[in-house]
Amino acid sequence: MPQSAPDSERKRTRKARRSARGRGWLRLFTFIGLFLVLMAVLGFVTFANGIPRSELPVTGSADGIVVLTGGASRIVDAAELLASGRGKRLLISGVNPATTPGELTRINPDFERLLAFIDLGHDATNTIGNAVETGRWVREQKFRSLIVVTSGWHMPRALIEIENELPDVRLTPYPVVSERMREDPWWSDASTVRLLLIEYVKYVASFVRVHLNPARTAGGSRRTHS
């Protein structure tokens, strides 16, 4: 039986409304997606631009110094801080299990006089492990302040993890500047952009994980800058 004109018109109207709602949802999801992409890009650019391109001297001192392994220059800088009296002891976190204190003198023979004040941490295999290892060492030493030495691009994530382990310890960051960050703008080299992008994703993941589980950060941490 053929449909009446009013019924046909109502069906066309309902179809048009559904189509309009579908286009509306599509525009909304597109807007939200573009907004999230824009926020991610702005966040990454802010993160990358915040990485120091020159090293600043540490003007104060702390109870201890920790350096997260990943480059010989980090260890050299941390040992120099120890030698200049910026801390009482130095922890080198994430050292290869086969490494001994005496092997540090191969990097610099002057380190031999510092060996009695250097501890090696062999357990850490990643940044979370560095934080756990550092937390255990600081509590054993009963330190209340700490200089953290790692690369500039790694420092934001390292501080999040260490602050989560040591909420009541004063942290002073000492970012080591790599040659790739010192010489050219970060955006001028594809490998540097890729490195920073990966680190930014890891930083965001650490930030979200720590703040979704704030039990260990209830005491609040104190961070100073040199």
The pLDDT tens digits of the residues spanning 8-62 come to 666 666 665 666 666 666 777 777 777 777 888 888 888 888 888 777 777 789 9
Which range of residues forms the domain containing residue 72?
A: 64-223
Q: What does the pLDDT read at residue 149? A: 96
Classify residue 97: in a domain, yes or no.
Answer: yes
Classify residue 195: in a domain, yes or no.
Answer: yes
Chain segment 79-109, per-residue pLDDT in tens: 999 999 999 999 999 888 777 777 777 777 7
Cα(9)–Cα(24) distance, rounded to whole angstroms?
A: 22
Q: What does the pLDDT read at residue 10? A: 61
Classify residue 147: in a domain, yes or no.
Answer: yes
Classify residue 1: in a domain, yes or no.
Answer: no
Domain count within the chain: 1
0.85 exceeded by pTM: no
Work out the angle at residue 135's Cα, subtended by the Cα atoms of residues 146 and 95, and round it to the nearest 5 degrees. 90
Classify residue 115: in a domain, yes or no.
Answer: yes
Mean pLDDT value across residues 52-76: 84
Q: What does the pLDDT read at residue 163? A: 94
Report whether pLDDT(2) > 60. no
Classify residue 100: in a domain, yes or no.
Answer: yes
Pick from 166, 156, 165: which is nearest to 225 by CA? Answer: 156
Classify residue 191: in a domain, yes or no.
Answer: yes
Q: What does the pLDDT read at residue 221? A: 46
Structure tokens, 129 = 């492990």
Q: pLDDT: is 72 or 198 the higher one? A: 198
Q: What does the pLDDT read at residue 192? A: 83
Q: Which CATH number covers residue 219?
A: 3.40.50
Classify residue 25: in a domain, yes or no.
Answer: no
Strand, helix or coil at 22?
Answer: helix
Cα(225)–Cα(59) distance, rounded to whole angstroms?
A: 9
Strand, helix or coil at 84?
Answer: coil
